[in-house]
């Protein structure tokens, strides 16, 4: 089966144009991901480039070769810029048009203009540079867990390598004895077919990346506290329960801490909610820095936070809690120029087995937190059976007092 290069060019023009419009339509549906627009314009520009290249022989070489290649380089540069924008890096205008400018300048040099092989090598090098730069940009953002990154990186690297080998392979492969050498190269047929397949594949992979990014952000938003950037109540309880299940097969001591900012309402009343929000952010930052990466930390709501320290003895739990308490007090001596001086009370429970779930451990830590508040705040208490029984007695006494007050109130009425 013979592949007609002219037919491939025509199909490539239609495919590039359709994919460009498809990417732009997808961007209109979700304008928050600007990279999709860059990629859409790149496909449209490639369609224009192939159109000009297909006019070879009927128009001057300045248009069908020099200008066509310049547009092609800008198209690859747009794809690279889109990769930068996708990972929140700014475009670089000089490099965006640098490849096209270099090509147009060097093509005016007589020795280069007279050598077809040198021009092919130059154009291949520029395309390879932009393609590998795009792959590198995706590689730099690999910390974001997007599965679609990896096939994109592989395809971009392979496509760039194929262009880099364009000159040596072109010299080895046969040329048709009839017709214009530009369109009769077997290597040009291979490149045209590979470029068509690459264009279709990479467009769908880039769309998949944009869709995966959106879904990932939605999932993350449901589990992250927007003010402090740490886990919210739902995420903390899920992760804590998952760890307790793992602890059943590998028992190690854990410490669950309940941390509550003291007199937080008065901070809002005296300094305003903006300062109150800043205090919460400071606390999240201070407490997070006092823990290890493996520990869990989250905001349960309002000014209440929780932490789960993995493989933590009583001594380590107390040391971490005291470091949080002291560092936070020092950090809030002055907040945005205001003398806030906020403090925190902490209740701790130590567990050596997986008998209790995370809610039960938090309830025990709450008993200790209640004692810390009751004893003057800005202190740490560790839950014990005595603390729990004392809390139960207090609650029972309060309930009796309330129930006895109701008949007296009715009698007075």
Instruction: Taking residues 208-234, report their average pLDDT.
Output: 89
Lowest mean pLDDT among 19-33, 130-144, 167-181, 387-401: 167-181
For residues 292 and 238, is the Cβ–Cβ distance under 8 A? no
End-to-end CA gap in the chain: 103
Instruction: Report the alpha-carbon distance of residue 33 to residue 37 in Å, rounded.
Output: 8
The arithmetic mean of pLDDT across residues 373-386, rounded, is 85
- pLDDT band for position 269 (50/70/90)? very high
β-pair type (380-382, 344-351): parallel
pLDDT: is 50 or 192 the higher one?
50
What does the pLDDT read at residue 386? 53
- Domain ranges within the chain, ordered by starting residue: 5-221, 233-382
pLDDT band at 148; cut points 50, 70, 90: very high
CA atoms within 13 A on the CB side of 353: 2
Supply the pLDDT for residue 389.
Answer: 52
Predicted local distance difference test score (pLDDT) of residue 1 = 45
Question: pLDDT above 70 covers what percent of the chain?
Answer: 85
Assess contact for 261 and 342: CB atoms under 8 A: yes
As a whole number of angstroms, the distance between CA 189 and CA 167 comes to 14
Q: How sure is the predictor about 175, in pLDDT bands with cuts at 50, 70 and 90?
A: very low
CATH class of 233-382: alpha beta
Answer for the pair 213, 33: CB distance below 8 angstroms, yes or no: yes
* pLDDT value of residue 399: 61
In tens, the pLDDT along 275-328 reads 999 999 999 999 999 999 889 999 999 999 999 998 888 999 999 999 999 999
Look up the pTM and report it. 0.68
The residue ranking higher by pLDDT, 1 or 117, is 117
């Amino acid at each position: 089966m013979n592949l007609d290069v002219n037919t491939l060019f025509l199909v490539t023009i239609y495919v590039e144009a359709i994919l460009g419009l498809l990417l732009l339509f997808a961007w209109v549906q979700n304008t928050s991901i600007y990279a999709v627009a860059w990629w859409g314009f790149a496909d449209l520009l490639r369609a224009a480039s192939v159109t000009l290249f297909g006019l070879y022989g009927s128009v001057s070489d300045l248009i069908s070769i020099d200008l066509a290649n310049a547009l092609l380089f800008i198209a690859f540069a747009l794809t690279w810029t889109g990769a930068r924008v996708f990972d929140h890096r700014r475009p670089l205008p000089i490099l965006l048009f640098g490849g096209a400018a270099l090509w147009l300048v060097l093509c005016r040099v007589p020795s280069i203009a007279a050598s077809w092989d040198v021009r092919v090598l130059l154009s291949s090098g520029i395309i390879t540079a932009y393609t590998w730069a795009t792959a590198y940009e995706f590689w730099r953002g690999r910390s974001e867990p997007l599965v679609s990154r990896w096939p994109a990186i592989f395809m971009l690297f392979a496509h760039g390598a194929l262009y880099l080998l364009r000159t040596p392979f072109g010299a080895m492969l046969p040329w048709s004895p009839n017709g214009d050498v530009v369109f009769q190269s077997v290597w040009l047929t291979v490149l045209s077919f590979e470029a068509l397949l690459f264009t279709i594949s990479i467009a769908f992979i880039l769309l998949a990346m944009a869709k995966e990014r959106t879904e990932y952000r939605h999932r993350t938003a449901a589990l992250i506290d927007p003010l402090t950037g740490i886990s919210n109540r739902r995420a903390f309880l899920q992760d804590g329960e998952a760890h307790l299940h793992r602890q059943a097969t590998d028992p190690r001591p854990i410490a669950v801490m309940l941390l509550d900012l003291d007199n937080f309402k008065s901070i809002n009343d005296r300094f305003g909610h903006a300062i109150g929000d800043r205090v919460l952010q400071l606390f999240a930052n201070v407490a997070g820095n006092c823990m290890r990466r493996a520990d869990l930390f989250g905001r349960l709501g309002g000014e209440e936070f929780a932490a789960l320290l993995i493989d933590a003895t009583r001594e380590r739990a107390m040391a971490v809690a005291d470091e949080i308490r002291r560092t936070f007090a020092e950090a809030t001596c002055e907040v945005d120029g205001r003398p806030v001086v906020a403090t925190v009370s902490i209740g701790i429970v130590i567990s050596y087995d997986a008998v209790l779930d995370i809610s039960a451990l938090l309830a025990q830590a709450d008993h200790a937190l209640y004692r810390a508040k009751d004893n003057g705040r800005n202190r740490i208490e560790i839950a014990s059976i005595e603390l729990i029984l004392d809390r139960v007695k207090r609650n029972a006494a309060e309930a009796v007092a309330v129930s006895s007050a109701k008949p007296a109130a009715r009698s007075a009425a």
